Amino acid sequence: MEDIKNNTGQNMGIAALITAIITFVIAVIPCVGLIAIIPGIIAIVLASVGLSQAASRNAPRGVLVAGLIIAIIASMISVSQVFIAGKIAQKADKWPGDIQNIINDVQDNVVKDLEDANISIKVESNGDKVEINTNSDKKDREKTLENLEGGKTQKNDTLPKKK
């Protein structure tokens, strides 16, 4: 009689502990972490029922308490996966904007490089060759402009940048 009295809620405790540990392992894996909330709730219910039974008959509660604690932590981890997923989704909305900024930067760099480029055009037709070499160096062009205008160039003659 004494033995039966002491084992009250023990089976519930074992079931709760097994479910809680499995929940914990599942909850940590991001792919299936959200599913872990279901076994987590089952483990909490099992442990709670077992605890109430054990408390009413003054039976040992070690396994039940361990199961309950692990189940609660595992469920919290599982719920936190929702927030992480939400955070990633929120970040994902910003990524197209970031990509657009990178493209704009690259475009600006290419235009800046082309401003100082040496251009060579070769045209060949029926044995006749025409070669045009020009330097698009911004400083050279400014110098040429100064020579043409006789040194009376305005200091800032560039158009304002488009916003």
For residue 92, the minimal CB distance to other proteins (Å) is 6
Contact between 73 and other proteins by CB under 8 A: the answer reads no
Task: Locate 37 and state its tokens.
Answer: 């909330």
Residue 29 or 55: the one with the smaller Cβ distance to other proteins is 29
Contact between 84 and other proteins by CB under 8 A: the answer reads yes
C-beta of residue 9 within 8 angstroms of C-beta of residue 59: yes
For residue 105, the minimal CB distance to other proteins (Å) is 24
Residues in the chain: 163
∠ CA 86-41-52 to the nearest 5 degrees? 150
Contact pattern for other proteins over residues 8 through 27, marking x by CB under 8 A: --x--xx--xx--xx--x--
Q: What is the CA radius of gyration of the chain?
A: 38
For residue 48, the minimal CB distance to other proteins (Å) is 18
Contact between 47 and other proteins by CB under 8 A: the answer reads no
The 3-class SS string of 53-73 reads: HHHHCCCCCHHHHHHHHHHHH
What span, in angstroms and rounded, lies between the C-alpha atoms of 127 and 143? 36
Contact between 55 and other proteins by CB under 8 A: the answer reads no
Where is 5: in which H helix or E strand?
Answer: helix 2-6
Question: Where does this chain touch other proteins (CB under 8 A) — which range of 50-58, 75-83, 107-115, 120-128?
Answer: 75-83
* Interacting residues with other proteins (CB under 8 A): 10, 13-14, 17-18, 21-22, 25, 28-35, 63, 77, 80-81, 83-89, 91-92
